[in-house]
Structure 1
Amino acid sequence: MLVLHVAVVVLMNISWIAAKRPHILFIVADDLGWNDVGYQNPDVITPTIDGLAKQGVIFQSSYVLPICSPSRSTYMSGMYPYKTGMQHIVIGGRQSVCLPLELRTLPQQLKEVGYATHAVGKWNLGFCNLKCIPTYRGFDSFLGYYNTQEDYYNHTFGGYLDLHDGERVAREYDGQYSTHVYTNRTTSIIEAHDPDQPLFIYLPYQSVHYPIQVPDKYADMYPHIGNEGRKKFSGMVTAMDEGIGNITRALQDKGMLDDTIILFTTDNGAELLKYGNNFPLRGGKHTLWEGGTRGVAFMAGAGLQHTGIKYNGLIHSIDWMPTLIGAAGAPQAEVDGVNQWDSIRLNQPSKRSEFIYNLDDFHIPTQGHAAIRVGDWKLILGYPGESDGWTKPMNDTKDTALLYNIYSPGDTPSYLFNITDDPREFHNVAYQHPDIVQKLTKRIQEYRLLMVPAKYPAKDPAADVAAKKNGNAWASGWC
């Protein structure tokens, strides 16, 4: 059982915090949907996730970006992607771009107050220059892959191997399932760690992003599911849950669990075509509907005074960096995010009443265009993104048909919802409330004055040259 370290919230003098900074385990699931965890869907087998969530704080209104690189940029920087050029879809393997180097990352700031910092799993924030990779962005170690996806067993993507241990190509894991690889590395870090030093582990699992691959024993746990894709996807969720169980057990065995904050979140809503599910929310990954942006998330562990609760306050992914820095008792940087630590641990109202879902004016209409939330109201301008509708889990034999939005350029049409009254976005009330549409549109225009162009260059053939020279493995140093 997870026991809370209540002394964190009793003794708040600076010298005590410096001596007792909590360990932090920040877990990111890839493409995990609102309806893809057991505590929200009993058909999914996630006993560890369910136990941690129910002993902690389950976030009902935790928002992310509609796709992975933008969300991951917020975790590391605390900044809106539209201000850093990270707002448009994902950083591709052949693009000469990365998270801007002038940004001070979360691990860099934690290292300044004594943390050991480790990253295990998916990076997807650029690697064309050596200064872009995790061990140059504040992490003491990194085992994982640079790109957006890869094969779970041979660890290849786009024709090249993509698995690195620090700067070294890690060829020794061929044939090993990535969820197990990342779990084992994380437990090894914990086992070797001195508990007297605060520890930060960033664990962005590959799971459950496609390709849909999992050892048979996990898929076989779902005999009631007739759809092979959903069956394997569910098994992938359970394999990740087992990994998290092994990690929390390692923390317990090391005597560190009671002193650890565990933050779990998805990076975006589920990819509906790849068997994830966001029901009863509308839409999915790539969209500004709630199904693409309202993320399954919870926090458990040290410092939380009110547990076993559902927290309805607004939280955006830009808030996680200042919130974790606040929990660590470290100096705050000037970022877009706000420190929600006191709001979460004391079950107080959120410090956020407004946020931007995303602003993306790039010419390729792959994802939603623009949306804002102010209080209860949500306004979407123009294209919401590629998928629409309220898709239930694909438990039957056949794949479920999806509805698609038709692309329209610019800020029309407008969609207005009262999310508190209508969280499923059934009723577009834009015509009934033109004054609110006008007010929120003005707010979006004000934010657009701060927008920088999306950093989304054409493919650079130098990436292939570098990979071939590196023994057919993705490499840095070509930009």
Structure 2
Amino acid sequence: MGLSSWMTAVLVMVTMATVDLVHGAPNIIILMGDDVGFADYEINDPAMRTPANTALAQKGLTLNQSYTLQTCTPTRTALLTGRYSYKLGMQLGKIKGTYLRYVPVEPKLLPASLKDLNYTTHAVGKWHLGFCDWKLTPRYRGFDTFYGFFSGAQGYFNHSGTPSFDFRDNGRVAWENKGLYSTELHTTRVQEIIRGRKREPFFIYMAYQNAHSPWEAKQSYIDDYCSHVQGEKRRIHCAMVAAMDESIKNITDTLDEEGIADDTILLVLSDNGGPLGYGSYNWPLRGGKSSFWEGGLRSHTVFVHPKWVVNPGTTWDSLIHVTDWYPTLYKAAGGNPSDLQEMDGIDQYWKLIKGKQGTRDRVVLNIDDKRGRSAVRIGDMKLLTGKPCHNSLTSGAPAPPDMEAAGTANSFVVRIQDVPEKQLFNVRQDPRERNNLIDDPQYAEILRELEDFRDYEIENNLVPFPANIPKAKEGKPEFYSGAWSPGWCCAG
């Protein structure tokens, strides 16, 4: 390399290393869908209408090997703590109603770490990490503001779940929102935060209600985007996803109007795969929500960092786990990930924006000691132990080509009773998880490595899921003017 080329390379490295000094820390927005399947975007099913997601993919990266967990709370726990959920006893959900259950108070959540870097922090939408004590709620866990609901599901219009009212504007019950569509309410609040920003960079965690049950969509979304879709379940699901996509467009338009789009990182993902039998697709992946199949754990993910992603419009094919976003975004914000405590997540910031091979080579997808199942991956090989799917639901909507072969519609191979106790798949070559390699001698060495990896985590790091989760009658909404409210437990 000549002197001139060497000096140019050094200058580029110094420039990249001092990005925060030159441009200031970027704003960060996480846009997390709820129960949005791998094939619920037009990129994987042309019948869907998600142009905003497609436009973001053209500006950034599509992450093809992006893993979450199988249901809502475990994924949200991993995202905001950077820890494997099973290390916190949160490998399964069960945060609902008066259950005395919550994410432990000890881990410092991502927003609190970003506040250390002078960010303002905002949570909008679904919480679902516990609320029996005020100290468990968003504004006590690092968020400056909260606009949304504490529970796991509620009506999109009446904002009631199991069955009482649940909508907060910071600490106040927002009764005035009754009858208004939640997606539009949440979107408006995000736009207000963007327009009302101060000099500090902001972090917005937008946890959409879409497309979780109940299956409610405004008729306008059905008429405008999804009238052509066959099957009522798929049509309604399409409309709920379209509402989310329109929200994404409105948010990105607001960033453009404010002149800060180039200074804002956007991360779009789902909390888990789509639930089978309710209009959601995960094709070509096998299985769906609640399962340890790829269709339950893989998320269609888009990462946008304007001016810094080297190859926009491309697919990043390296392994990334939801825990990685904590240190990765912390790095993007100007922090040093080595300062973070007890991270299972791996900083992949520079690998992402430069389009290089990722750092992660293995991941514990989850350990479910209650049902005796686990899933781990090293390289391209995935080991499933126990029954990956504890339900036997099949899709009730028309299937794209080869959906049945993928084990996600009208196929007995997805059912609990028809799978062996141990299964080994090359999930890069076989994302449908059809060719079980467990007895193939050429994979004996990687099988032992996967089993050792799993066994070590079970023996050394697993916090058992509680056999029984107590309830507290003091938490009933009737004691709080008919709204779900904190104040009926003392979190540790």
Question: Scaled by the length of structure 1, what TM-score is found?
Answer: 0.92
Out of 71, 78, 82, the residue aligned to residue 74 of structure 1 is: 78
Q: 1:457-468 to 2 correspondence within 5 Å?
A: 457-465=468-476, 467-468=477-478
SS at match of 2:226: coil
Residue 341 of structure 1 pairs with residue 349 of structure 2: yes
Distance 1:459 1:157 in 2: 20
Report the alpha carbon displacement of residue 15 of structure 1 after superposing the two structures with TM: 8.7
Residue 176 of structure 1 pairs with residue 186 of structure 2: no
Q: 1:13-412 to 2 correspondence within 5 Å?
A: 16-17=20-21, 20-194=24-198, 196-220=199-223, 221-302=225-306, 303-332=308-337, 333-334=340-341, 335-362=343-370, 365=371, 369-387=373-391, 394=398, 401=410, 403=412, 404-406=414-416
Report the alpha carbon displacement of residue 272 of structure 1 after superposing the two structures with TM: 1.1
Report the alpha carbon displacement of residue 13 of structure 1 after superposing the two structures with TM: 5.3
Distance 1:463 1:288 in 2: 35
Q: 1:464-479 to 2 correspondence within 5 Å?
A: 464-465=475-476, 467-479=477-489
Contact 1:357 1:373 in 2 (8 A): yes
Deviation digits for residues 407-458 of structure 1 (CA, Å, limit 9, x no counterpart): 69xx961100111221211100101144433332122101112111125742
Distance 1:451 1:172 in 2: 44
Distance 2:156 2:14 in 1: 44
SS at match of 1:299: strand
SS at match of 2:123: strand
Report the alpha carbon displacement of residue 108 of structure 1 after superposing the two structures with TM: 0.2
Contact 1:58 1:311 in 2 (8 A): yes
Aligned twin of 1:431: 439
Contact 1:279 1:392 in 2 (8 A): no
Deviation digits for residues 79-135 of structure 1 (CA, Å, limit 9, x no counterpart): 000101110134222221211111011000000111010000000000011100000
Report the alpha carbon displacement of residue 198 of structure 1 after superposing the two structures with TM: 0.5
Aligned-partner residue type, residue 318 of structure 2: G
Aligned-partner residue type, residue 51 of structure 1: A
Distance 2:253 2:436 in 1: 47
Distance 1:169 1:11 in 2: 47
* Residues 392, 458 of structure 1: alpha-carbon distance in 2 compared, 3 angstrom cutoff: closer
Report the alpha carbon displacement of residue 313 of structure 1 after superposing the two structures with TM: 0.3
Aligned-partner residue type, residue 313 of structure 1: S
Contact 2:47 2:229 in 1 (8 A): no
* Residues 305, 226 of structure 1: alpha-carbon distance in 2 compared, 3 angstrom cutoff: closer
SS at match of 1:344: helix
Contact 2:475 2:488 in 1 (8 A): no
Distance 2:221 2:474 in 1: 36
SS at match of 2:451: helix
Deviation digits for residues 266-291 of structure 1 (CA, Å, limit 9, x no counterpart): 00000012211101110001111110
Aligned-partner residue type, residue 107 of structure 1: P
Distance 2:169 2:71 in 1: 25
* Residues 13, 372 of structure 1: alpha-carbon distance in 2 compared, 3 angstrom cutoff: closer
Contact 1:280 1:392 in 2 (8 A): no
Identify, as 1 or 2, the structure richer in helix.
Answer: 2
Aligned-partner residue type, residue 454 of structure 1: F
Deviation digits for residues 277-323 of structure 1 (CA, Å, limit 9, x no counterpart): 10111000111111001111011133322211001000000101111
Contact 1:46 1:241 in 2 (8 A): yes
Question: Scaled by the length of structure 2, what TM-score is found?
Answer: 0.89
Cα RMSD of the aligned pairs, angstroms, is 2.4
Distance 1:304 1:456 in 2: 46
Aligned twin of 2:464: 453
Distance 1:305 1:22 in 2: 17
Contact 1:230 1:395 in 2 (8 A): no
* Residues 380, 255 of structure 1: alpha-carbon distance in 2 compared, 3 angstrom cutoff: same
Contact 1:59 1:312 in 2 (8 A): yes
Identity among equivalent positions (%) equals 36
Report the alpha carbon displacement of residue 394 of structure 1 after superposing the two structures with TM: 3.0
Distance 1:374 1:413 in 2: 19
Aligned twin of 1:443: 453
Query: Aligned pairs, how many?
Result: 463
Larger deviation, residues 385-394 vs 261-270: 385-394
* Residues 18, 106 of structure 1: alpha-carbon distance in 2 compared, 3 angstrom cutoff: farther
Contact 2:233 2:397 in 1 (8 A): no
Gaps of 5+ in 1: 1-6
* Residues 470, 56 of structure 1: alpha-carbon distance in 2 compared, 3 angstrom cutoff: same
Contact 1:88 1:360 in 2 (8 A): yes
Contact 1:383 1:405 in 2 (8 A): no
Report the alpha carbon displacement of residue 219 of structure 1 after superposing the two structures with TM: 1.1
Aligned twin of 1:3: none
Report the alpha carbon displacement of residue 253 of structure 1 after superposing the two structures with TM: 1.1
SS at match of 2:148: strand
Distance 1:90 1:394 in 2: 31
